[in-house]
Structures are given as structure tokens and as C-alpha cells.
Chains A and B, each alone.
Chain A
Amino acid sequence: MNRLVKPRALFIGLSVLCLLATWLSLALGPVSLPLLDTVRATLRLVGVPIPGEGLEQAELIVGQIRMPRTLLGLAVGGVLALSGVAMQGLFRNPLADPGLVGVSSGAALGAAIAIVGGSAFGGLPDAFGPYLLSLCAFLGGLGVTALVYRLGRRNGQTHVAVMLLAGIALTALAGSAVGLFTYLADDATLRTLTFWNLGSLNGASYARLWPLLMVTAGVALWLPRRAEALNALLLGESEASHLGVNVEGLKRELVFCTALGVGAAVAASGMIGFIGLVVPHLVRLLAGPDHRVLLPASVLAGASLLLFADLIARLVLAPAELPIGIVTAFLGAPFFLYLLLRGRH
């Protein structure tokens, strides 16, 4: 069969793409900085001792605004793509999406409670506001996923089909709860909720970045170690068990990694869709379904794709910004339809 790209070429290509995306994310933006200034500012930022006269603006824009944003984009893109791979493995279906286990709708519910509840109590204090929102979103995502997981467990076994239905039901329930909060919200709170639902890398700061970076690193280092077991899981749960895989444990890990990863990503940047669905597909089209290649390649591809989407979001309406969820939907939905029409390879 013709796989388009060999693994080595794929990794080299994706790494180059990721570096390019990172560079463009640092170098381009509504404020136009001379290229050399960006280079020098970046070097100084990572600790290279170069003289810094005349670089104040570049250091500010690159160091305080673009760099945290780029890191956020890399982490969110990477962890969303990884979670997509995990879910497609868990449900043994290439059309699965991290949202199936309820983490996205749970996070949306958590955020709605924070936004609407907060304004009902006289507004969130400025210092706490963003942290409280992120925390509520994260807890909401974990909470709903935990519930979905529990519902899917029977006699010490996790029934994936039951989990799927539970996920659908809880997503619908969370959706109506969010609807209720939307009703209770006033105009301004409504707008905030809407924008949160559309996702954004705006306002990234180093302080809020660390939890997400740690979670992403954790998931990105852990999942590839389970690559062969994940391959076996695709044969079927009993087949994988006969090959010696601890299937229940693996399923638990997959759900946990997804809940943690997507929960943290959504808490940091709102809801950004389609990365988890589309990126693993793209990588499979290029290099096949072997998780030993798919997992690391998806991290690179997801990170690059999100950064490119963010560039579009930042530049197309400058000085205003388009919510990034709109860009990923615009890129992702047509691609997804194309995949469906094309049928399975």
C-alpha cells in the first residue's frame, strides 16, 4: 500500500514545520517588528548574552506577548491532538473526538458557572477572575469525564459503548445546563460566554501557562510509551488482552490523559475544536495508523496547525482578533466533510 511518507521523513518534515510555525508566531503580528530585532530579542529571551540597545519594544512584544502565546499554542495544539489519538484508539474509531467523553461540555459548563455565577455575585474580582474561570473549566471537564467513566464501568470492566452513550447523554445535559445559565445571564455576560466558547490564545501569560505545560509534557511523554499496546487495542479488547495487554488499565489511562489534557487546554484557552479530530487523521493519511509514529507526529502536527490558525486569527482582522475556534472550524469542518465523502481508505 502506498503510505505517502516514511516515518523519518515525516518527523523531519513535521519538526521543520513546527519550528517554522513557532518562528512565524514570534516574528509576525499586528505590530511590525524588524526581523533582526525579533531574532535578537528572541535570543536574549532564551539567555544568549547579546547587547540589547534599541530592543525594548521587540523584547516587550516578543517576550511578553508573543512568546507566551506561542508556547500556549504549542501546548494546546499538541495536547488536543494527542487526546484525539487517545480517543480514536479507545473507541477504536477514526471518527472519535476528545469531546465524546464529555470533557469539552463539562469544561464549558464549568466555565458557564464561573462566568454567570461570578457576575451574579457582583462580578469576579479582577485578580482572581481568569484563574477562577480556568479552575472551574478544568474541574468541570474532569468531573463530567469521571462521571462518564463511572457510568461505563460494570463488573470491573469499562464498556466503551456504554461510555459513548453516557458521554452523549451528559454532553446534552451539560448543554442544557449551559443554556439555562445563558438564559440567566445578562447581555454582557452572554458575550463573554460566547467568546469563551469560541476559544482564543489571547492574553497568554507565563504564570498561567505552567500548569498546562506540565500536563502537556506529562501526557506527551506517557502516551508514546503505550504505543504498541494501543496498536493491539485496535485489534479488539479481547485480542489485546490475549496479547498480554492490561486492557482495563489502558482504557483508564486513556480516559485520564484525555480528561487531564483537554481539561487543562480548555481551561487555558477556551474551546478550540477540530484539532483532536482532524490532526490524527491527517497524520494517518500520511504515515499510517501505527501509534509509535502517530503519537509523536500528532503532537508536532497539532502544535503547528494551531499556531498557523492563530496567525490567521491574529492578522486577518488586525488590530482586532478573530476567535481561534472559528478559524479551526473553518479549516477543520470542510476537511472532515471531505474525509466522510471520500470514504475510508
Chain B
Amino acid sequence: MRLSTRLVALCAGLMISHVSVSGESPQRWVSAGGALSEWVSELGATSRLVGVDTTSQHPESLKSLPSIGYQRQLSAEGILSLKPDLLIGTDEMGPPPVLAQIRGAGVPVEMFSAEADLASLEATLAHLGRLLGDEAQATRLFQDYQQQLQVQQQRVKQIQTTHKAPGVLLLLGHAGGKPLIAGKDTAADWLLTHAGGHNLATHTGYKPFSVEALAGLNPQVLVFADRSLTGEAARKALIKESPILSVIRAVKEGRVYEVDPTLLVGGLGPRLPASLKQLTTDFYPAVSADQ
């Protein structure tokens, strides 16, 4: 115990001296959360990222950074080998002993909420702004985002005065197989609802469904997110793995749309408003795109 206290004191001392040399804000960031990494990029600090986790896939440039693995199974030494000044991640980061080791090495670990609501996003952006030393930009970004969402809300509200919300289901799959249906209290549910759809699933969380139950619900629109495939390949794989899907309305009428699965984890991300807009257009094809 004496050894580690001594070490912590030494390292804390080191960190303080290090920080005072390099300026106020940390320069080398490691991010363990996809949405967080995107926001860091939006705030113009992409160059500060020296390592990201497996869910950080946007923007493209992040893919060439060293990968620290899955956010819940981080390696202390691995992260420390990137010589970071800061580790950011959602409260899903772990395992806790590893975070303790990283803190013990004098690297601050900042946790952010992964909840998919505006209040959490505001707190997240404000926090990031503080860490970057540019709170003003963060506030601007949030207000802009908030406004985009408000516009989106109004659009949906207006459409729904004349059009009925379509019954929708969101399927999360892997190469088309084993699709999980998104129920209440998921980021997917938030997405569907804010895009003006009516999520037909009433359970909580992501659960596998029997394909018959799916056919029974007969959604008008099917949204899918595939972890390993994209585009036409993903659509084909989905139908191939569960052929009975072809009897549901959505598939017969060709109303099957794709979303990026990284939108569904880690809290609200910057690409959401655009996705919402696209989804609303998909949900209400009778309405023109600028309404």
C-alpha cells in the first residue's frame, strides 16, 4: 500500500508538471466511445485523438488510429503505451480495475453518460468544451443541434396532422442473421419515434423475435442495422436468413431502410439529425422532402 501511495503522489506530481508545461488542455486523447469520438471531431479536435475503441468508426480518419479494443475490455498498459493525457468514455467503459490502474498512472479518466436524451448531450458537450478549453464552441454546437432537432420535431408534428404514423420495427443484426428487435428504452426507439414512426415493439431492450411474431406485427416500414454488412448486401442477407420476412408489408412494398448501427450506441451523436431527416422522408413518402 505504501508503494502505490508513493507512486500515485509521484505520478500526480509528474502530471501536474506535464500539464503546466503543455498548456491548459490535454493534447493526447484516447476515446472509448463512438459518439464521443464523433463529437470530439465535430469540435475540431480530431488531431488530438491518438487511440479509439472499436465503436469509433466516424469520421473515416479515425479508422486508421490504433485501436484500444472493445470499450468494456480495455487494457491499461495498452492505453498507457499511447502516452495519453486523457481517457474519455461512456459509463460503460471498463473493466473498473483497469480504469483504476490508468488513473493510478496519472492519466485522468473522464466518464460521460450514454443516455440518449438532450440533457445528457448538453452535459457531454459542455464537459468536452471545458476539456478542450473552448466552451463557447461547445455551447454553439449544442444549440445548433438542439435547433436541428426542433426543426425535425416540428416537421414530424406537422406531417402527423395529416398522415398517420407508420408502424415500424427496427432490426439489429449481424450479417443478416439473428436479428434483434429494438423495443422501448433503446436508442433505436428514440430514433424511430423522433423520426415520426410508431415502434410496434412493446418490450424493453433488444430481444430476438420469432419470425412469425414479426410477420404477425406486419410493420409498414422495416428499418435495419447490420453490424457487419452494409447496403444491398446487408438487405439481401437479411431476407436470405429470414425468408419469411418477404411476406410482411414493408418488404413487399420495398419499404426497407438501413441505418448505421453506430448511431444506436453511446448516446446522441452528430449524425443523428441527418438520419432522422432521412428516416422521416422514408416513413412518409407521400410528403415531399422539404415539408
Contact = CB atoms under 8 A, between A and B. Distances in A.
B190 interface: no
B98 A56 contact: no
Contact of B11 (A60, A204, A319, A323): A60
B77 A30 contact: yes
A186 interface: yes
A321 B70 CA distance: 9
Interface string B3-23: 110010011001000000000
B74 to A, nearest CB: 8
A270 B73 CA distance: 13
A208 B100 CA distance: 13
Interface residues of B, number: 40
Given A65-B76, A319-B75, A320-B68, A205 B101 contact: yes
Given A200-B73, A319-B67, A29 B81 contact: yes
Contact of B81 (A31, A200, A317): A31
B4 A64 contact: yes
A60 B206 contact: no
Contacts of A204: 97
Given A126-B96, A318-B81, A60 B7 contact: yes
Contact of A203 (B70, B80, B97, B180): B97
A206 B67 CA distance: 28
B105 interface: yes
Given A60-B11, A203-B95, A319 B78 contact: yes
A184 to B, nearest CB: 9
Contacts of A291: none
Given A32-B81, A130-B97, A188-B92, A317 B69 contact: yes
B72 A191 contact: yes
A109 B256 CA distance: 39
Interface in B90-149: 92, 94-98, 100-101, 104-105
A318 B78 contact: yes
A321 B73 contact: yes
How many chain A residues sit at the interface, stated as a range, is 35 or more
A314 interface: yes
A61 B68 CA distance: 17
Contacts of A97: none
Contact of B77 (A31, A130, A187, A208): A31
A30 B51 CA distance: 13
From B75, B97, B105, B206, name the one whose CB has the most chain A CB atoms within 10 angstroms: B75
B79 interface: yes
Interface string B34-56: 00000000000000000100100
Contact of B78 (A32, A191, A205, A321): A321
A205 B97 contact: yes
Interface string B189-222: 0000000000000000111100000000000000
B62 to A, nearest CB: 14
A42 interface: no
Interface string A52-65: 00001001110111
B81 A60 contact: no
Given A64-B4, A203-B95, A314 B180 contact: no
Nearest to B51: A319
A183 interface: yes
A187 B227 CA distance: 13
Contacts of A63: 3-4, 7
A108 to B, nearest CB: 17
B72 A208 contact: no
B73 A65 contact: no
A130 B81 CA distance: 25
Contacts of A238: none
B82 A319 contact: yes
Contact of A59 (B7, B68, B100, B101): B7
A249 B66 CA distance: 55
A30 B95 contact: no
Given A186-B205, A205-B101, A319 B81 contact: yes
A187 B82 CA distance: 29
Contacts of A126: 96
A211 interface: no
Contacts of A104: none
Contacts of B74: 202
Nearest to A133: B95
A63 B77 CA distance: 12
A236 interface: no
Interface in B127-181: 172, 180
Contact of B67 (A191, A200, A320): A320
Contacts of A335: none
Contact of A65 (B10, B70, B77, B82): B77
Contacts of B205: 186-187
A129 B67 CA distance: 26
A273 B207 CA distance: 30
8 contacts: A56-B10, A65-B80, A130-B97, A188-B92, A195-B70, A205-B100, A318-B81, A319-B69
4 closest A-B pairs by beta carbon, nearest first, are A320-B69, A319-B78, A203-B97, A30-B81
Interface of A: 29-32, 45, 56, 59-61, 63-66, 126, 129-130, 183, 186-188, 191-192, 195, 200, 202-205, 208, 314, 317-321, 323
Given A64-B4, A320-B67, 14 more contacts: A31-B81, A61-B80, A61-B105, A64-B7, A64-B105, A183-B207, A192-B94, A205-B97, A205-B100, A314-B77, A317-B67, A318-B81, A319-B75, A321-B75
